[in-house]
Amino acid sequence: MRTLAVEPNPRARDVEFTEDELIVHLRDGRKVSAPLAWFPRLLQATPQQRRKWELLGDGEGIHWPQLDEDLSVAGLLRGTPAPESSI
């Protein structure tokens, strides 16, 4: 029986959006998706603002400078929505 090696500390490599989802591509080949409704700043952002992201560290997180939004890969894998904010 073969088993696949899963990174102990998964890292992001790419980000995409559908109309209602955030999809993060991990370096180990997995994709993680979450509803945009979980992330109000991303939900309210324009498509152009959503496209302007950068990786934090070695892909541990994703940062949108124009939106002041940061998401961690670990939080996405746990299924953690953004905390309530006053935006």
CATH of the domain at 46: 3.30.2020.40
- 23 in a domain, yes or no? yes
Q: Looking at residue 1, what is its pLDDT?
A: 62
- 26 in a domain, yes or no? yes
pTM, two decimals, is 0.86
- 62 in a domain, yes or no? yes
Q: Looking at residue 84, what is its pLDDT?
A: 72
Residue predicted with more confidence, 79 or 2: 79
Confidence of residue 8 (pLDDT cuts 50, 70, 90): confident
Q: Which residues contact 62 (CB under 8 A, 6 or more apart)?
A: 12, 15, 24, 53, 54, 55, 56, 70, 71, 73
Dist. CA 54–CA 14, nearest whole Å: 9
Dist. CA 37–CA 21, nearest whole Å: 8
